[in-house]
Chain A
Amino acid sequence: MQPDKIRSVLRDEILVTVSKPARYLGNELNSVHKEWTEETVKVALAFPDVYEVGMSHLGLKILYHLLNQEAHVLAERVYAPWPDMQEALARRGVPLFSLESSRQLKDFDIIGFTLQYELSFTTILDMLDLAELAVFSADRHEDDPLVIAGGPCAFNPEPIAPFIDLFVIGEAEEVFPKLVAEYRKLRQSKHLSKFERLRALAELPGVYVPTLYEPVYATDGSLSRWEIHDQAPFPIKKQVIKDLDTAYFPKQFIVPYLETVHDRAMLEVFRGCARGCRFCQAGMIYRPVRERSVDKLLDLAQAIVVATGYDELSLVSLSSGDYTGLTRLVEELLPKLKERGIALSLPSLRIDTFAVELAEQIQSIRKTGLTFAPEAGTARLRDVINKNVTEEDLLRTTEAAFRAGWHTVKLYFMIGLPTETDEDLEGIYLLAKKVAELGESVRRQTGAGKRVTVTVSVSSFVPKAHTPFQWFAQDTREELRRKQRYLESLFKKSRGLTLKYHDVEVSFIEGVLARGDRRVAGAIFEAWHLGAKLEGWSEFFSVTRWEEAFQESGIDPFFYANRARQSTELLPWEIIDSGVSKEYLAREAAKALEGQSTADCRELCEDCGVCPGLKVANRLRYRGSGLFGG
């Protein structure tokens, strides 16, 4: 369908009938509308969820503006339409289109999906189908667009490997421009087949072309080896940018009309995290720590607020409280923003009193209450997961928060962690109770009016690839439900405490997908075929549909979610080299079982392998100054 036709059908017939039509306009402030020419490589950047979720994601915004900076590249956006829009499009035979130019996705050279969470996999299939493309790579045509994917879930690409032509492993700023340039060169050689082009692209660092690697399974169902075709590179090494100050960061961010999930300007202060929490995939795969300088951040902040007009600027990273230049940054930034009526926010707070002082300074945090993540209820279990926070830390921090006038505190915990016992669960309750009692006693002392509320949010642990816990069995659903009931029975007794927990079924499916191998693709296909899509939205998630899909595809979900792996087992994601060595992960797993913690790697290098392997280093700007003395 021609773009003019799509445009007019949208405006004359569809947009006024669907919910939130501003999702589909594509003309937001700072959106880039480049001319379509023969020479241009056209990239559709796809987020497998709806607009408000996708437009909140910083990574894809960076990539969008980065690609559009290049002379012979254009990037446009596409998100999953809400079901009412899907129906409206289907009724009129309109295929999925890009927001900027209303082109059908088939007209693009490359469709790039970002993989942020496992439950979005079925939406990828759905979007391919809405784009009138075959969902399996093998069924797509020679002249169909290249379907590629990247992001954290690409660190175990196997469950969706049959749907994707090529994966980008690591930071897209590093890989994507090279990939597009190489694609453009290859396109000029008209005689090359799609496979030949993919084979050539596979030579680029950080590019994984799954058809070149065929998994072979042992009789016990585990992976025995890969059959590597045509001497393709193995393993695929993660690519990173080395210096964030010289790396591209956009100033003219797109500003949505709609209120998105994170509706504010975002400034990335650093990438990576050195804390080494053993459950955390991001902490492992985004290593090492690379900080931006304060001066660079101040420049960027100034330019971004002018270009966007946002009334809030958020300092983002995996743990912004760890930024070595934070004190100076906040001191210099805050008055400049205040002058313009712009609020500053710091979403990831550490558990220390300094964090509260900072939060007090940055008043905007008041409106939401404070959130801390002790993750586990006892000191023993916190040592197991290497969350190096003590009870005293938490109590001192929350006391400071209550004294500073907060009366709502949210605590994040996980259940189903390795070695967990009911004592650890009781620890969650006892810790929360202590925090609440502390809050009440502060209230009595200060005579502050409002009753203290402590909300405890408990998620179920999902073991992830490339972490020390990658070998561990996920708790069964029955066990997780029992633990939730036990927690409920404890919390029932107390006032001022609210308990929230996640759907066990969702965690189970995440568990299957997070550590699945290539055969799991069959179940993903069946689930989609049975109607799964937009499963990040609880109203669209159905475990019975997944159970049917497992049955249809002959996949045993417990084999993937609830089975402990042997240390000698070849893991499906070992085709990807995150830079963190298997030996380090195994050492960390062993230390976990002994209840031994590991220091922050900025204090003491535990030889995880990232820095020598990727020829990078932790890049701390202000060692020895500010918070983190080195």
Chain B
Amino acid sequence: MEALRVRAQYTKVGDLRFISHLDLTRVMERAVNRAELPIAYSEGFHPMPKIAYGPALALGIISRVELVDFFFSTPLLPSEVQSRLNRVLPAECQVLRTAAVPTGQPALTALIDRASYLVRVDLQLVPEANTLPAKTGDILERDSIIVTRQKKGKTRRVEIRPYLLNLSANLDGPVAALEFSLRIGSDGATNPREVLGLFNLDLSTPGVLVERTELTTENGVKLFNN
């Protein structure tokens, strides 16, 4: 039985961008154990701690807006959850804020519908990125954007235009900044890598740093009450 649901916004920055979402879930579970927090467990033969995450963050991307809900078996202050977790979590994964959430509210994955990203490109390393602002206009005007995906040796062509919501770019001194929002639909999705691909960039291009900057509902409502 869970007596309390606490939502936390946390970071995944620095070297932790190189661990997968699954690895991150283990970091969280172990932190909860080490902090000796009264986490609730699922029913069934092999009980699992009740921790529910927002949409997974792709490996290589940093974020300061990640969301997770913890379900506790006994009531405790959200601020205490935050301070106790931060004592045992790595510096690259710290809880920035917490809030109590009604236990009956839908899961984060059901609530969150869009994710925003900021890509910073070092113009010294990638000089051709100075054409980003010009290219964004072309891409937004297109009705259809087809990308190819490889899965199990098969190539598939996929339409991603409906999932690309906003796209803008500007040059700021030595940096080209690209911002976009993606819809996380239940019927399909795209990802930052595919958007970068439209500009001949990749997560692994030296001088490219991708950050997730926002997670919101369909109406653009943030998931924190404050």
In the complex, whether A216 has a CB less than 8 A from a CB of chain B is no
Q: Pick the interface stretch among A222-230, A304-312, A427-435.
A: A304-312
- Asked whether A22 lies within 8 Å of B204 as measured between CB atoms, the reply is no
- Asked whether B45 lies within 8 Å of A21 as measured between CB atoms, the reply is no
In the complex, whether A530 has a CB less than 8 A from a CB of chain B is no
Interchain CB contact (< 8 A) of A16 among B22, B39, B90, B204: B204
- Asked whether A341 lies within 8 Å of B34 as measured between CB atoms, the reply is no
- The A-contacting residues of B in range 72-90, CB under 8 angstroms, are 88, 90
Cα distance, A29 to B87, chains bound together (Å): 12
Per the CB 8 Å criterion, the residue count for chain A at the interface is 30
Cα distance, A25 to B90, chains bound together (Å): 13
In the complex, whether A556 has a CB less than 8 A from a CB of chain B is no
- The A-contacting residues of B in range 15-55, CB under 8 angstroms, are 15, 18-20, 22-23, 26-27, 29-34, 36, 39, 41, 45-47, 49
Interchain CB contact (< 8 A) of A257 among B19, B39, B41: B19
- Asked whether A21 lies within 8 Å of B59 as measured between CB atoms, the reply is yes
Q: Given contacts A22-B23, A341-B41, is CB(A310)–CB(B15) below 8 Å?
A: no
In the complex, whether A38 has a CB less than 8 A from a CB of chain B is no
Residue among A17, A310, A341 with most chain B CB within 10 A? A341
- Asked whether A12 lies within 8 Å of B206 as measured between CB atoms, the reply is yes
In the complex, whether A366 has a CB less than 8 A from a CB of chain B is yes
In the complex, whether A70 has a CB less than 8 A from a CB of chain B is no
- Asked whether B204 lies within 8 Å of A13 as measured between CB atoms, the reply is yes
Cα distance, A305 to B46, chains bound together (Å): 19
Q: Given contacts A16-B59, A309-B88, is CB(A25)–CB(B18) below 8 Å?
A: yes
- Asked whether B23 lies within 8 Å of A309 as measured between CB atoms, the reply is no
Enumerate chain B residues within 8 angstroms of A17, measured Cβ to Cβ: 204
Enumerate chain B residues within 8 angstroms of A309, measured Cβ to Cβ: 29-34, 88
- Asked whether A367 lies within 8 Å of B46 as measured between CB atoms, the reply is yes
Instruction: Classify the interface of chain B: helix, strand, loop or mixed.
Output: mixed
A6 to chain B, nearest CB (A): 14
Cα distance, A486 to B223, chains bound together (Å): 65
- Asked whether B15 lies within 8 Å of A341 as measured between CB atoms, the reply is no
- Asked whether A341 lies within 8 Å of B39 as measured between CB atoms, the reply is yes
- Asked whether A311 lies within 8 Å of B29 as measured between CB atoms, the reply is yes
- Asked whether B90 lies within 8 Å of A27 as measured between CB atoms, the reply is yes
Scoring A residues 332 to 349 as 1 if CB is less than 8 Å from chain B, else 0, what string do you get?
A: 000000001110000000
Closest A residue to B58 by beta carbon equals: A16
In the complex, whether A606 has a CB less than 8 A from a CB of chain B is no
Cα distance, A259 to B27, chains bound together (Å): 11
B196 to chain A, nearest CB (A): 12
Cα distance, A306 to B204, chains bound together (Å): 37
Enumerate chain B residues within 8 angstroms of A16, measured Cβ to Cβ: 18, 59-60, 203-204
- Asked whether A308 lies within 8 Å of B15 as measured between CB atoms, the reply is no
Residue among A29, A305, A363 with most chain B CB within 10 A? A29
In the complex, whether A454 has a CB less than 8 A from a CB of chain B is no
- Asked whether B49 lies within 8 Å of A15 as measured between CB atoms, the reply is no
Interchain CB contact (< 8 A) of A341 among B31, B47, B60, B207: B47
- Asked whether B34 lies within 8 Å of A11 as measured between CB atoms, the reply is no
Q: Given contacts A13-B206, A341-B41, is CB(A25)–CB(B15) below 8 Å?
A: yes
Total of A-B residue pairs, C-beta within 8 Å: 70
Closest A residue to B125 by beta carbon equals: A12
- Asked whether B33 lies within 8 Å of A341 as measured between CB atoms, the reply is yes
Q: Give the interface size class of chain B.
A: 20 to 34
Q: Given contacts A22-B19, A27-B90, is CB(A308)–CB(B41) below 8 Å?
A: no
Cα distance, A367 to B60, chains bound together (Å): 33
Residue among A13, A15, A29, A309 with most chain B CB within 10 A? A309
Cα distance, A286 to B27, chains bound together (Å): 35
Scoring B residues 72 to 115 as 1 if CB is less than 8 Å from chain A, else 0, what string do you get?
A: 00000000000000001010000000000000000000000000
Cα distance, A21 to B58, chains bound together (Å): 13
Interchain CB contact (< 8 A) of A310 among B19, B30, B47, B59: B30
Q: Given contacts A16-B204, A25-B18, A366-B45, is CB(A255)–CB(B39) below 8 Å?
A: no
Enumerate chain A residues within 8 angstroms of B204, measured Cβ to Cβ: 13, 16-17
- The B-contacting residues of A in range 1-27, CB under 8 angstroms, are 11-13, 15-17, 20-22, 25, 27
Closest B residue to A15 by beta carbon equals: B18
- Asked whether B34 lies within 8 Å of A27 as measured between CB atoms, the reply is no
- Asked whether A257 lies within 8 Å of B206 as measured between CB atoms, the reply is no
Q: Given contacts A12-B206, A16-B60, A27-B90, is CB(A255)–CB(B30) below 8 Å?
A: yes
In the complex, whether A261 has a CB less than 8 A from a CB of chain B is no
Enumerate chain B residues within 8 angstroms of A308, measured Cβ to Cβ: 30, 34
Cα distance, A308 to B19, chains bound together (Å): 18
- Asked whether A305 lies within 8 Å of B19 as measured between CB atoms, the reply is no
A50 to chain B, nearest CB (A): 16
Q: Given contacts A15-B18, A22-B20, is CB(A257)–CB(B59) below 8 Å?
A: no
In the complex, whether A258 has a CB less than 8 A from a CB of chain B is yes
Enumerate chain A residues within 8 angstroms of B32, measured Cβ to Cβ: 309
Interchain CB contact (< 8 A) of A259 among B26, B45, B203: B26
Closest A residue to B39 by beta carbon equals: A341
Enumerate chain B residues within 8 angstroms of A363, measured Cβ to Cβ: 45
A87 to chain B, nearest CB (A): 14
Enumerate chain A residues within 8 angstroms of B33, measured Cβ to Cβ: 305, 309-311, 340-342
Cα distance, A577 to B68, chains bound together (Å): 57
Cα distance, A147 to B205, chains bound together (Å): 37
Cα distance, A82 to B32, chains bound together (Å): 32
Cα distance, A341 to B59, chains bound together (Å): 29
- Asked whether A306 lies within 8 Å of B34 as measured between CB atoms, the reply is yes
B120 to chain A, nearest CB (A): 13
- Asked whether B18 lies within 8 Å of A21 as measured between CB atoms, the reply is yes
Scoring A residues 147 to 180 as 1 if CB is less than 8 Å from chain B, else 0, what string do you get?
A: 0000000000000000000000000000000000
Closest A residue to B34 by beta carbon equals: A309
Enumerate chain B residues within 8 angstroms of A310, measured Cβ to Cβ: 30, 33
- The B-contacting residues of A in range 606-627, CB under 8 angstroms, are none
Enumerate chain A residues within 8 angstroms of B206, measured Cβ to Cβ: 12-13
Enumerate chain B residues within 8 angstroms of A367, measured Cβ to Cβ: 46
Closest A residue to B45 by beta carbon equals: A366
Residues in B lying within 8 Å of A, measured CB to CB: 15, 18-20, 22-23, 26-27, 29-34, 36, 39, 41, 45-47, 49, 59-60, 88, 90, 203-204, 206-207
User: What 8 pairs across the A-B complex have the smallest Cβ distances?
Assistant: A309-B30, A309-B33, A309-B34, A16-B60, A21-B18, A257-B23, A16-B204, A17-B204
* Besides A11-B18, A25-B18, A257-B27, 4 new A-B residue pairs in contact (Cβ under 8 A), listed by A number: A27-B15, A306-B34, A306-B36, A341-B41
Give 29 CB contacts A-B under 8 Å: A12-B206, A13-B204, A15-B60, A16-B59, A16-B60, A21-B18, A21-B59, A22-B23, A25-B18, A25-B19, A29-B30, A257-B23, A258-B19, A258-B23, A259-B23, A259-B26, A306-B34, A308-B30, A309-B32, A309-B33, A310-B30, A310-B33, A311-B30, A311-B49, A341-B33, A341-B41, A341-B47, A341-B49, A363-B45
Residues in A lying within 8 Å of B, measured CB to CB: 11-13, 15-17, 20-22, 25, 27, 29, 255, 257-259, 305-311, 340-342, 363-364, 366-367
